[in-house]
Structure 1
């Protein structure tokens, strides 16, 4: 048995206009031919639910359908009146049109315009090409495909570590021989792909795009850790014991760094805002790990160590 219009949309009789529209939007999104090109059953169902929405969204047609005066296709059940079924009032109207035919759509002349609805579902272009409801009872036209654009062209661009940190624009020469300054996006990382519109190959629908993949070169001092940068910084024993102000490198130039008195190897100092720029515009940090460097064969240091009885047992916590 064929489903009635409410069953097609999965709603109850008495559903509100908003409930009808919501149900149709959901089904149309699932069944639209553009998304089911290899599924003829989906296209058939799309036509059925569109026809159901077309009729139920028209208050007059819906009322006549609920009274049993018209069927699921909008056709009068008893077109000649005479008191049978729902056409007890089937006398001719002024102008000779029997009641029940005056709003009936024989060729799509007054079919509901669903362009606004489909513009919300699939965008303005989809609503203008192959709009449901054109050409009769909720049918649809397959939209004509736009001319195909030319192929995209891929490039790889190797950039310096410090340029990636500073988001320094990069000069790149494309296949057409023209050089452009490429702006690095916030959040750039190794493997980031940047699309340049209209810089690909020619095609009937216009030029394709250029796709630039970023390769960030390693640095001899810095390593990346997410949005942070890590640096191992050697310090002397004297600087570690007594504390000092020393010069430390950053990707954007050297800065003065305070080494706290009594520093041990492995201590990490954080320089805020010296890392990579995130997508939200905020920056990571530079994490500096201090490493105490002891000079080999330093006689004075050896004599000091021989005479020094301090230090305790730094391995006590290891149960040894």
Structure 2
């Protein structure tokens, strides 16, 4: 498998930031170990795609890689030196740099050794002059049920090395929100800290509830007799069913509000509301008594309207 991050993602150096993100997401979906539990190579493909994305998503590290200053693992490359660089230097300058001669600077020699070790993938920490490197962040995708996202929950993800990691979903987590797990990314080099695990959450749709900010939206199908006469009904909420009073004369499209039955606000004990939109339900085949009553009622209203119109004309 190629270590060139562009080849890993199937891109060229002309790729835009959007191209890089799109290519990574495509590979993450097609190679995630959770989705391909029987494919032993999925872990390697997923890990390679994550490492490539971590290097190319940052404009600074991407520019340094393109310039040859760092390798595909983000390690420093030794500076390139050519004989022509020394053409105008003092006599024997080139020869002295090649070995540990009388005038050699040993700290430069050791620095070159350490740079080579870093380029080969090894970490280093050489006394007070040593350098440590933080590990790369690793990106993951996680799909969460709607109620687990709004109420909070705990689940598990599979890391790039195949290990399982418990993840707490905070109450009120939104679609496309990124959760950060400190120190759960790639290990650092030379005693440097590990990177973080960045988990992008996709919230599944719910058959009854929708979210708008901290409010929950739902629809209530109401029999037309309850809409006309009013009623006490039971309404589902994200925290369980509650009672609600329907005022007489309620019509389709009217929105009733259940205070504090929405999503808990971040950093607060309060919560949003649940807004319930009424949809009046009319029976497809009313029973004979109801049909007879409505027929008589309609004729009576029509007669009253004609009588009112005649009085107005006479006046």
Per the normalisation by structure 1, the TM-score is: 0.49
Larger proportion of helix: 2
- Choose between structure 1 and 2 for higher RCO, CA contacts under 8 A separated by at least 6 residues: 2
TM-score normalised by L of structure 2: 0.50
